[in-house]
Amino acid sequence: MAEQAVTASGGVVHSLLSAVGAHRLVSSVWGYVDSTIRWCWIPNWLPPWCPTSQIKLQTAEDMMLRCVHNTFSKQYVPISNGNHLWTLSLSSDHVKDKTPLVLLHGFGGGVGLWAQNLDALSQHRPVWALDLLGFGQSSRPLFPTDTQEAEDQFVESIEQWRVKVGLESMILLGHNLGGYLAVSYSIKYPDRVKHIVLVEPWGFPERPDTVEADRPIPVWIKALGAMFSPFNPLAGLRLVGPLGPTLVQTLRPDFKRKFSSIFNDNTVSDYIYHLNVQAPSGETAFKNMTIPYGWAKRPMLHRMDHLQPEIPITIIYGSRSSIDSNSGSSIKQMRPHSHVEIITIRGAGHYAYADQPEDFNHTVLQVCDKVD
C-alpha cells in the first residue's frame, strides 16, 4: 500500500512521466538532472518562474476561509529559533471554559482545508488550527536529516506553541501526518492531551515484506523511482513552473469536488498549489521520515505501548479510502484496557473531513462530547 500523503503529491511526477512517455524520459533526463531538476529539492531555493509568493498564499487562504461564518482570529505564534506557527482560533464566551480542540493537518495541507469544519466544531468548544512547522504560512526552517530529530522538531514546535497560546490541555485531532505527530506528541506530553482523534493517519504500520511480491512493480518504474529518490515529493510541481496551477487543476479535480458545496471556481486548487510550491521545509522533513513508497521509517505502531493507557483514542477512516484501516484494529488489540474506538464514515475517502463534512463534523462532536 502506498500511503496517501505520498500518492497525492507523487501523482504529479508520475502523471508527467506518463504524459511524455517513460522510456523517452529515461533516455533524455540524465542530460539535465544536474543543471535543472537538482534545484527542485534544495531547501532554500524556490524557482523564480513558479507563479507564487507568500502574499499569494495568504490571499488563497483568505479565499478558502471566506465561507467561515463564525468569528475567528489569525496570528503568528512565535516559538524557538525565530520561527512561528500560523494559527487560527475560534471561540466564544459560552464555550471558552471547555477543553479546546486542536486541528493538525496532513502532509501538504494547511488551515484553509478545514473550511467546512470550523463553524460546526467551534459551536461547542474553542477550536485552534495551525499550520505545522514547515508547511502553509508557518516558518519553513531547515529540519535535521535524522528521522527522529526531524520528528522531535515537529513535536517540540507543537509544545512550544501550546505554551505560548496558554492551553492547559487539549483534544488533539490529526489527519494523515498530523495524526502521526498527534500520537508522538501525546507520548512525550501525556498530561496535555485529553483525547486523540486520528483521521486517516499516516505512518503507523511498517512496510510489509510482501509488498512487491503481491503487487510487482515494473523495472522501469523502479529505475525512475531510484532516479528521483533524492528529490522532494513535490519537486515535480515546482519543476513545471507556470504550468503548476493548471497541473493541479487537471490532476486533482477531486479537490474541487470536495468543496463544491461552497466554491464553484478554482479556489481550492489555487490554495493547494500555493501551499505546496513554497520553499520545501516540512516536505523535506517528511521525505526524511519515509522509506520508498511512503512508509514511515519509524512506524508508530512500534511505539503505541509508550502511550499512557488513560488517553482515549478515536480513529476515523473513510469507507472509500485507500489507506489500510488494519492499523486501527492493531491499536485496539494493543490497548485492551484503554478506550479505542474505530469509526468509518461512509462515502468518504482519505480526506474524510472534506468528502463528507457533515458526517465528519457530527462524528467529531459526538467524540468531543465525552470531554469536559
Q: Beta-strand (E) ranges in 43-153? A: 73-78, 84-90, 101-104, 127-130
3-state secondary structure of 240: coil
CATH class for the region spanning 54-207+214-370? alpha beta
pLDDT attached to residue 323 = 87
pLDDT attached to residue 97 = 93
Strand partners of residue 295: 291
Q: Beta-strand (E) ranges in the chain? A: 73-78, 84-90, 101-104, 127-130, 170-175, 193-199, 290-291, 295-296, 313-318, 340-345
Name the residue with cell 482560533.
89
Report angle CA 289, 342, 117 to the nearest 5 degrees: 75
Burial grade of 1 (CB within 10 A; 0-12, 13-18, 19 or more): middle
Burial grade of 338 (CB within 10 A; 0-12, 13-18, 19 or more): middle
Tell me the pTM.
0.85
Q: Are 315 and 323 in contact (CB under 8 A)?
A: no
| Residue 349: how many other CB atoms lie within 10 Å | 20
Q: Are 315 and 201 in contact (CB under 8 A)?
A: yes
Q: Which DSSP letter does residue 49 get?
A: T
Q: Are 274 and 60 in contact (CB under 8 A)?
A: yes
| Residue 167: how many other CB atoms lie within 10 Å | 15
**Residue 325, amino acid:** S
Q: What is the pLDDT along the chain (372 residues), one digit of tens a residue?
A: 434 444 444 444 443 333 334 344 433 433 443 334 434 443 444 446 689 999 999 999 999 999 999 999 999 999 999 999 999 999 998 999 999 999 999 999 999 999 999 999 999 999 999 999 999 999 999 999 999 999 999 999 999 999 999 999 999 999 999 999 999 999 999 999 999 999 999 999 998 876 554 555 555 444 444 444 556 788 888 888 889 999 999 989 999 999 999 999 999 999 999 999 999 999 999 999 999 889 999 999 999 999 999 999 999 999 999 888 999 999 999 999 999 999 999 999 999 999 999 999 999 999 999 999
Question: Which of 363, 359, 367, 361 lies closest to 313 in space, CA to CA?
Answer: 367
Query: Where along the chain do its domains lie?
Result: 54-207+214-370
